[in-house]
Structure 1
Amino acid sequence: MYERILIPTDGSDVAELAVEHALDIAAQYDAEVHALYVVDTDAVAYSLGAEQVDRIRQGNFQGMTELREDAEAATGYVREQAHERGLTVVEHTSGGQPHDLIADYASDNDIDLVVMGSHGRSGVRRALLGSVTERTLRSTTVPVLVVDARADEVK
């Protein structure tokens, strides 16, 4: 049923909870895991120049140590946890509008299931879902499992 599972991650505690759910499902179905880190270029455009934003959109974080380290830490966490379960992992980083890139990645890579946290690092919650999660639900035809975690339940 599930051959490829996408885990969009920003490295937040809620994203790490989603990783656990996704890997349990992947282990059950012996599915390939895809870890995706997206830099929201709308959020960083004001502090970076146009050339840097264009490089981020191409997935090139050269010269942007903090962004590269954040991306590597987030997808690296997925990789480490998946390898402990004997699962295959594909890591990918990109830049743009997160919900669009998640939907495009799912479509382009024949993803069967997207597993993501209810909200991410921004800490801003809309009723129940963060804006990226809400927009992803509206942007893709792939099934999405949303892992909800209340702030007091997150380590």
Structure 2
Amino acid sequence: MYERILVPTDGSKVAEAAVDHAIEIAQQNDAEVHALFVADTDAIAYGLGTEQVDRIRQGQFEGMTELREDAEEATGYVTDAAETAGLTAHERHAGGEPHRMIADYAEDNDIDLIVIGSHGRSGVRRALLGSVTERVLRSTHVPVLVVDYEGED
């Protein structure tokens, strides 16, 4: 049923809970797992110059050590879990509007299922869903599994 599963991640505990679900589903379907980290350029653009924002949009985090490390750690967690389960994994780092980047990646890579955390690292939890998750639901026709996390984040 599922051949390619996308896990957008920011490295939060909620995203890690989504990874667990994605890996289980991928094992049941012998599916590829795609890990996507999106740096929200709207949120970080104010402190950066145009050239730096353009590089982030292209997924080039060189010279931005903390951002690059966050991206590598977040997608690396997904890749490690997938490979431990004997699955093929792909990593991608990008910059832009997260919901659009997730929807575009899903379309461009023939993703069959998106598994995403209910809210991200921002620490502000909305009544139902985080804003990125809510926007992903509205931006794609790919099935989306929203995973919540009960613990402290």
For this structure pair, what is the TM-score category when the shorter chain's length is used for normalisation? Answer: over 0.9
State how 1:72-91 maps to structure 2 within 5 Å: 72-91=72-91
Query: How many aligned positions are there?
Result: 153
Paired letter, 2:90: V
State how 1:6-155 maps to structure 2 within 5 Å: 6-150=6-150, 153-154=151-152
**C-alpha separation between the residues in 2 aligned to 1:138 and 1:123?**
22
Paired letter, 1:124: V
Paired letter, 1:61: F
**C-alpha separation between the residues in 2 aligned to 1:46 and 1:154?**
30
For the aligned residue pairs, the C-alpha RMSD in angstroms reads 0.9
- Identity of counterpart residues, as a percentage? 74
For structure 2, list consecutive stretches of 5 or more residues without a partner in the other structure. none
Q: Please give the TM-score of this superposition, normalised by the length of structure 1.
A: 0.96
Q: Is the 8 A contact 2:119 2:131 kept in 1?
A: yes
Q: Please give the TM-score of this superposition, normalised by the length of structure 2.
A: 0.98
**C-alpha separation between the residues in 2 aligned to 1:33 and 1:149?**
20
Q: Is the 8 A contact 1:14 1:154 kept in 2?
A: no
**C-alpha separation between the residues in 2 aligned to 1:66 and 1:91?**
18
Runs of 4+ in 1 over 3 A off after TM superposition: none
Q: Is the 8 A contact 1:125 1:131 kept in 2?
A: no
Deviation at 1:128, TM superposition (A): 1.3
Deviation sequence 1:106-153 (CA, Å, 0-9, x none):
000000000000000001122110000000000000000000123xx2
